[in-house]
Amino acid sequence: MNYRSIFRADLFAGQTIMVTGGGSGIGRATAVELASLGAHVVLVGRTAEKLTAVAHEISRLGGEASTFTCNIREEAQVQALFAAVLAAHGALHGLVNNAGGQFLSPAEFISQKGFHAVVETNLTGTFLMCREAYSQYMRDHGGVIVNMLMENWRGFPGMVHSAAARAGIENLTKTLAVEWARSGVRINAVAPGLIESSGLDNYPDVAKQFIQNVVQDIPFKRMGTESETAAAIVFLLSPGASYISGESIRIDGASSLWRKTWEIEDHNNAPPPFNGFEP
């Protein structure tokens, strides 16, 4: 397989790992990397065409993947998803809760319906996925879960709905790490900062220009890559992280640490971006 992972090729051989939101962006990069390391990747999302395209990509590169459509906000669909995956594969060793969604808006213009939609997808959906992974398999067999946060340690003006939901996911992660330790379940989270991902294509042009300006406020003076995020997720799924649970890893070029109290001159000295899809 031609994905340039930094991990050994057979790291997840014989394992089944589910990735939600696997049809694009960080989910796709994570799925391709896991498949390159021997995992059978279960791609989950709402759009079958996107999932199928990634599954074909993985197949062409020599990996294995299957696809399942599911709206993670719907409890019955989530329950049916895990039942179907376990019936097909017999095990679920890892779960990456990457799926989510939000939109840019000042808080005063967000309706109750819009707020609830984001919270239900990001927070409630993550909870349902965690609960069913545990109830239907991991309670008796152990396993690893990685949840998705965002760089909102100082709040996140313009995305109050997602910031609130992701803050809830962080505490959910910590709480479940304690409750489920008795079953041998590890659960952690990653918090990407500004990532050069296909998800940025969904934003209007004015937001894209704003994002380019924000890059200058990142100490590294660049965005992160999907592969850099995927690598952190893969590490947390790996045996090398076997004593890590309840933690959140920031993948943000130190942006969450800087409050403009220290001038960062323009530079080109950040570590070069890592892109596993490059030859």
The residues pairing with 44 across neighbouring beta strands, listed in sequence order, are 20, 68
Residue 55 lies in a domain: yes
Domain of residue 41 covers 16-257
- Structural domain includes residue 272: no
- Long-range Cβ contacts of 69-76 (<8 Å, 24+ apart): 69/44, 69/45, 70/20, 70/44, 70/45, 70/46, 71/46, 72/20, 72/44, 72/99, 72/121, 72/125, 72/126, 72/128, 72/129, 73/120, 73/121, 73/124, 73/125, 73/128, 75/128
pLDDT tens digits, one per residue of 42-101: 999 999 999 999 999 999 999 999 999 999 999 999 999 999 999 999 999 999 999 988
Residue 94 inside a domain? The answer is yes
User: pLDDT at position 206, please?
Assistant: 67
Residue 151 zone, left/alpha/beta (φ > 0; ψ -120 to 50; rest): beta
> How many domains does one find in the chain?
1
Q: Is residue 48 part of a domain?
A: yes
pLDDT at 276: 87
Assigned domain for 245 exists: yes
Low-confidence ranges of the chain (pLDDT < 70): 1, 198-204, 206-208, 259-262, 279
At 158 the pLDDT is: 76
Considering the domain boundaries, does residue 67 fall inside one?
yes
- CATH number, domain with residue 47: 3.40.50.720
Tokens of 44: 């989950």
Please tell me whether the overall predicted TM-score, pTM, comes out greater than 0.85 for this model: yes
CA distance 115 to 123: 12
